[in-house]
Structure 1
């Protein structure tokens, strides 16, 4: 569920960035696909990062 929240907010925020940068560039047709691919890539990076830093259950039992 937490990864769905990351995906949702990354899509929302990247679409906002896309809109602002498009407006600063003079307007025109908005590209909706590129921010979605960026949000998916960002979510995959977050999932991989979470898998790397999460302690394993076997390691936590040995410490106690």
Structure 2
């Protein structure tokens, strides 16, 4: 569920950035595909970072019994 929310907010924010930058550049035709692709890439990066940053669960019960 959290990755769906990351995708939702990244699409929303990147579309807003796309609109603002397009308006500053003269207001041509809006490109909706590129921000969606960037949002998907951003969501994949967030998912990979989430997996990499999870702590490794070691067996602490064997270490506790030795003390």
What TM-score results when the alignment is normalised by the length of structure 2? Answer: 0.85
Aligned twin of 1:8: 8
SS in 2 for 1:26: coil
Aligned twin of 2:43: 43
Mark the runs of 5 or more structure 2 residues left unpaired by the alignment.
Answer: none
RMSD, matched Cα: 1.6
Aligned twin of 1:32: 32
